[in-house]
Every structure is written in structure tokens, then in C-alpha cells.
Amino acid sequence: MSIPTAHISAKEGEIAKTVLMPGDPLRAKFIAETFLTDVSIYNEVRGMYGYTGYYKGRKISVQGSGMGVPSMGIYSYELFNFYGVENIVRIGTAGSMCESVKIRDVIIGMGACTNSNYADQYNFPGTYAPIASYELLSKVVDIAKSQGVDVKVGNVLSSDTFYSDTPDISAWSKMGVLAVEMEAAALYMNAARAGKSALCILTISDEILTGKATTSDERQTSFTQMMEIALELAE
């Protein structure tokens, strides 16, 4: 496939080497309009906005991924393999799966468990463990510390289902899984296969055990700590 691709209308050179990827395209719009200078929009296909601009004089792009493993699989694959992107950082929301993780806590996904069959395409003779790029992870931990943000680093669950017919999370929480989201595992696998780097930074939007939750507007525009951490990765 050549560029533009079926899902991204950018031309060569319009996307930075580092891309931040929220699931919500309107969060991508918010980040571009709030934090970036000299911004240009490179994608509006299917309403999945993509922008390139500068943060503190350093170039960076922000692109919506949509919801779920298949959507993340498409967009991250095209960015890594057709646009020469080197680093993708998912900045998303998640549901807490343990008592120690509260609303608005910032989580860094060191690994991504999953109930998805995405890895089946690789014909592994066993079970693959999708993990983050250590270089990106260590940078982000240092950035968070410098900003005074107490992040939690650990395992997350990338679930194929939002409304599960068997919603019991006890098996995952017993194994120390911090939170559930829907995209990180596909991102980590695509990065590994392409020889690129990926990381997932999450803000807790709801607590599954207590039922506490934030609004859609809060999730779209107020989870700025993870955005400001990730933006420091601009090159």
C-alpha cells in the first residue's frame, strides 16, 4: 500500500516521528488546539482527526485511534509501516480493577494482557506477552516525577468487550492487573512486529469496584496530566 492510505490522508512528511494517540478524535482535536503551535490538520477521513504541530518548539503529531483492538490495529499499523512513525504513545482512559487505583490516577501500561485473538495472525507456538518500549517507559516515568505526578506502572488488560456477558474481573485483579482498556495490546504487538516503540499512558475514568465514574466531557478535555507528560516526548 502506498500513501495516502485507506484511512489516513496525510502526504509524505506531514506526520512527526512521534505520535500521541487518544482513542477519541475529539481529544486529539483538544490536544492540538490547547497545547500545540503552528498546527496543521493532516487527516479527517472517517472523522478520525490527525494533527501535526510543535510543543515547546519540538515537532509532534496527535491522531485519534478509535475504540478497540481492530481500530488501533489499523491506524497504528499504517503509521508505523507507511508513514515512518517511530514512536506511538496511546493516551487513553481506563477502568480501575483494584482498590488502590482511583479515579484520575495515571497508569503506565508496562504490559498488556488481552482477551483478544489479535496475536493469532502471527502463528505463535505459545502465548505472546505484549509489552511497552522500555526506553519510552523509563522516559515517561522520569518526566512524570519531574512534573510531580505519582504514576502507577504495571499490567493492564486490553479487552475486546466493553459490555461483557461475564463481567467478573476477579481473576485479573488477583494477578495484579491495574486497569482495563481496549487498545494497548494491539499497539504493542504492531510496534514489536514493525521494530518500533510504543507506550500506553492511561487516566482512570471509572472505578469498576465502586461504580464511581467521570463524565464524557471530563474524559475528553480534563485529563491533562497524561497529555502533558506524553507531550514532553516531542522531538
Catalytic residues: 206
Per the CB < 8 A criterion, the answer to whether 40 and 52 are in contact is yes
Task: Pull the grid cell for residue 149.
Answer: 505526578
Task: Pull the grid cell for residue 18.
Answer: 512521534
Per the CB < 8 A criterion, the answer to whether 96 and 105 are in contact is yes
DSSP helix/strand/coil, 75:
helix
- As a whole number of angstroms, the distance between CA 198 and CA 207 comes to 26
Cell 514489536 sits at which residue?
Answer: 192
- As a whole number of angstroms, the distance between CA 29 and CA 11 comes to 19
